[in-house]
Amino acid sequence: MLRHGMVLLGWLLLAALAPASGAAEPEDAHVAVGHLRGIINPVAASYVERALTTAEAEGAQAFVLQLDTPGGLDTSMRQIVQRILASSVPVVVYVAPPGARAGSAGVYITYSAHLAAMAPNTNIGSATPVAIGEGGEARLSEEMRNKVTNDAVAYIKSLATARGRNADWAEQAVRQAVNATEQEALELGVINYIAADLPDLLRQIDGARVVTTRGEVVLRTAALPVRRLDMQPLEAFLHAITDPTIAYLLLTIGSLALVYELSNPGAILPGVVGGIFLLLALYALGTLPVNLAGLLLIGFAMVLLLFDLAAPTHGVLTAGAIVSFLLGSAILINAPEGAPFLRIAPPAIALMTLVLTVFFGFVVGSVLRSHQRRSVMGREGLIGRRAEVREALDPEGLVFVDGELWTARTEGEPLPKGSLVEIVGVDGLRLRVRPVVATAGGPPSQETR
């Protein structure tokens, strides 16, 4: 057993030393490729962390992050940058496909990569930091704004120095929010390559030398296979719902579903769907700069709707609910001028306000109709029905209705057996009736058979 143990230990040591010796590439050498599209938020940071860790564990020769972002949260951006700086695998940020951009936080991520590339018809820039407070873009003093800006400038210049890129342009991107096309970025030394597609990029970076945490690495990527490390379904779903417009739709639809459940107890499905939607909305809003006043206004609108259902006020509470909902929707997300991607799409607000109005009209109409509908069960259900006289009414006798004999009384002329009467009231166990003129030769009422 000792001998076998020593042999096994020897093999483990050889396996551990083989990569460091550089004598041979792993048999499954490949290039890992990830895609990050949309707002930079905690979900995006978690995805990059997982993808890079997987690339390192699987022995990838390089990790290409295909990037298309308008920007995002500073904390999440710094998480991604720190993870790239700590990577033992060369990281290539590729702003693609054509039409993509690396805006705001995307500039820092691009600068942190060992190599940077852009596809045709893409742009990069507008890295000015924006401070957000409860009421939207924070009104900072001149001193505080200078501190924030200078901190961002120092951060991106340190990245530029570490990667050998244009630090002056990086400072302009922060202070003046300048932008550059892919051709301008290449000429300015902001990026290293312009690549039409991924195969073109892998051909161009072949032979490049970069320095990672494990030392200098020479890339050999031209003939390597590509292994996709896309977002997992749950990651993609959570990243999608953190879009401000989608989060707003989840919040509104979930709230309306719960209002419907509370106004129609026992429906069950609206309550379940509404609860799930609301929980997802709260998760999504937790990653966004939410204005608490806007959230409270939307909640107050739903409370007003419930009160109007319980005690109709001829539309007064409804009008207040619609105004409250509209105001809350407009200020729900603190979207500063420099971050339009954080705004809720105005058509979505208009659509959900219309849906709220139509929905409430439908629910109120249903409630009013149920209150006004004549009961078809029990004694009240007999009023308006026709019955056949089985014992002459003078003024009291017996009538036959719904398979039963009832004592009845008429206040008019005596009615002989076989006459048709209409029930006009119920007094305890006695019916009040009045005569009905039967159609000559017509069949007896279907109700008296």
**Active-site residue list:** 104, 147
Positions of E strands within 72-189: 91-95, 101-103, 115-118, 123-125, 132-133, 136-137, 179-181
From 237, 309, 319, select the one nearest 280 (Cα to Cα). 237
């993609």: which residue's tokens?
Answer: 236
Q: Tokens 């407070």, residue?
A: 133
Asked if 205 and 222 touch (Cβ cutoff 8 Å), the reply is no
Contact 225, 243 (CB under 8 A): no
Task: Give the whole-angstrom CA distance, residue 166 versus residue 254.
Answer: 48
Give the integer Cα–Cα distance in Å for 204 and 291: 47
Give the E-state strand segments of 3-61 in sequence order.
31-37
DSSP per-residue letters across 338-378: T-GGGSPPHHHHHHHHHHHHHHHHHHHHHHHHHHHSPP-ST
Query: Which 8-state DSSP code applies to residue 446?
Result: G
